[in-house]
Structure 1
């Protein structure tokens, strides 16, 4: 920094005064002056609309038993499903013939939710499941494409029996502590990589929930070396008989997106599950009569709030709510137009 009153300092003051005069005269645009408060170094660039740039994919209820259901979904929405998403559990062996079928010669990426079963985190890090991991490693090395795996999906949720708990808290039925979760995650990832199964890409996938009873993802983050993709599951549940409210896409995803992207400054973000209820009554819940699922979909696909979201996977199932995109003609039309 030049000393006050030095020739350099006087020159800088002279240049600043000159710039201000030019701005007042309208000779120099503010953006060219260097005085405007622009985007800070390292800040995310402005994004195009979400629907214009994401890889769109889906989980379609029953698709693992009838793969043609995903093809039918593509016809329904008038858009290719670039990601096939579905669910495996402890003891299942993957990737294999099912993944090859859904990959369709490499046209699609396969995203697998991997429920690790009724196990404690420590049992993974101490090697109790290494024989099972050996089977998965062999399958992955024989598989010709990348496969995206989300272990312990939605691990932050207080409804999960394996939700990591803070030291001193009452332990969950399965799972373990924050530290044990991180150790287990690192063990599984390292085990695959050390044996040449580099085509398995690891998706750290909490839900968007950040209320007090959930686990703060910053407490269980395993480190950027062990994560390839940041995943988020989020739904607009609307009103229930005892809880809930209608929430837009930005409100649902914003807080957790911000936490995750600070943990890893470069990893892509995938919305691994998303859906919205209809404003009509579901399961006895009061109607959100002033709302519109079609508008919810339209707003979601038009947002520019999340520049690092690269994939959007629709949860096409009638489950706790009718999450299906074709639950109404307007909702389906909004998706088709928004992509």
Structure 2
């Protein structure tokens, strides 16, 4: 993961976009029996948000390549970064994007959070958040069940810290913070399962999943289709009754057709994963070449995905 400046919410809703208190029925839900209804903030009435982490070229260059401005903009911030008041806020306002802020407590002992060491900082952030002109998604301490292991894979400590941060904002942020809890798609070997870290229904607005197709360039990995990457964790999270965001995803090129992998996203969301209401592409050459523009075929497939009616939210 990266720590960069915040790009946050917009002054008015995305065109055809969200109402902060909307209840909605996901697309494709009829194929799974009774439609799921979400009483949660920022859920699109129809369709799925498309999001982007801009790690390859400028935002405008990426949007031109993809053929549109995605509805969500993912960014990463450090624990003490003043993410609620950063000057970059104006850029998303102008672009008409919602923000997904991934708040990472690197270097922080979660017991210190629970014990109140950071209460002054949290109070400032909460007061500042009240000045945001549109609600923003806040993904706090993501991937706690896997690589990041916030709190040393201690679910009780993690839950206590998440709740403490949430409570510091409760009633002070003007309803501008939409709380996301997003485990990795797989649990670390020997570590507690993801649901053990769930802070509780009163503390979470959206659940999420981060997951990738790692390809076959490493002998420890095998090619996985989009459904394979997310199936197990999706089934777990769906029991919680919250809208789900894919907070990070992409595919490697090695071991199969990345274009075909992308082409499988829309039918899988429609037919298998109706509770996923947002999906964010991690556009960077990092552990693998996750970029949209890793090949001409990949770019063509992402352009087709971005133009699909499923991602035209209302």
Same structural fold, with TM-score higher than 0.5 when normalized by the shorter chain: yes
1:112 equivalenced with 2:101 (yes/no): yes
Deviation at residue 335 of structure 1 after TM alignment: 1.5
Matched with 1:260 is 237
Deviation at residue 41 of structure 1 after TM alignment: 6.5
Structure-2 separation of matches of 1:88 and 1:222: 21
Contact kept in structure 1, 2:127 and 2:173, CA below 8 Å: no
Contact kept in structure 1, 2:56 and 2:291, CA below 8 Å: no
Matched with 2:253 is 278
- Segments of structure 1 that go 5 or more residues without pairing to the other structure are 1-37, 46-51, 64-68, 166-176, 280-287
SS in 1 for 2:222: coil
Deviation at residue 39 of structure 1 after TM alignment: 7.4
Structure-2 separation of matches of 1:218 and 1:236: 22
Matched with 2:280 is 313
Where in structure 2 are the equivalents of 1:217-296 lying within 5 Å?
217-262=194-239, 264-265=240-241, 267-279=242-254, 288=255, 291-296=256-261
1:54 equivalenced with 2:48 (yes/no): yes
1:128 equivalenced with 2:93 (yes/no): no
Contact kept in structure 2, 1:164 and 1:215, CA below 8 Å: no
Structure-2 separation of matches of 1:56 and 1:102: 18
SS in 2 for 1:149: strand
Deviation at residue 53 of structure 1 after TM alignment: 2.7
Structure-1 separation of matches of 2:195 and 2:210: 17
Give the CA RMSD over aligned residues. Answer: 2.3
Matched with 2:73 is 84
Structure-2 separation of matches of 1:260 and 1:102: 33
Contact kept in structure 1, 2:56 and 2:62, CA below 8 Å: no
Structure-1 separation of matches of 2:257 and 2:95: 37
Structure-2 separation of matches of 1:60 and 1:139: 25
Where in structure 2 are the equivalents of 1:67-216 lying within 5 Å?
69-105=58-94, 107-157=96-146, 159-162=147-150, 164-165=152-153, 177-210=154-187, 212-216=189-193
Contact kept in structure 1, 2:150 and 2:158, CA below 8 Å: no
Structure-2 separation of matches of 1:198 and 1:256: 28
Deviation at residue 214 of structure 1 after TM alignment: 4.4
Structure-2 separation of matches of 1:196 and 1:299: 39
Structure-2 separation of matches of 1:136 and 1:83: 22
Q: Could you report, residue by residue, the CA deviation over 1:9-32 in whole angstroms, capped at 9, with x for unpaired residues?
A: xxxxxxxxxxxxxxxxxxxxxxxx
Q: Bigger CA drift: 193-202 or 322-331? A: 193-202
Contact kept in structure 2, 1:58 and 1:315, CA below 8 Å: yes
SS in 1 for 2:142: coil
In 2 relative to 1, CA 139–196 (structure 1 residues): closer, same or farther, beyond 3 Å?
closer
Deviation at residue 338 of structure 1 after TM alignment: 2.5
Deviation at residue 62 of structure 1 after TM alignment: 6.9
In 2 relative to 1, CA 310–41 (structure 1 residues): closer, same or farther, beyond 3 Å?
closer
- Segments of structure 2 that go 5 or more residues without pairing to the other structure are 1-29, 38-45, 307-314
In 2 relative to 1, CA 196–323 (structure 1 residues): closer, same or farther, beyond 3 Å?
closer
Greater gyration radius: 1
1:297 equivalenced with 2:262 (yes/no): yes
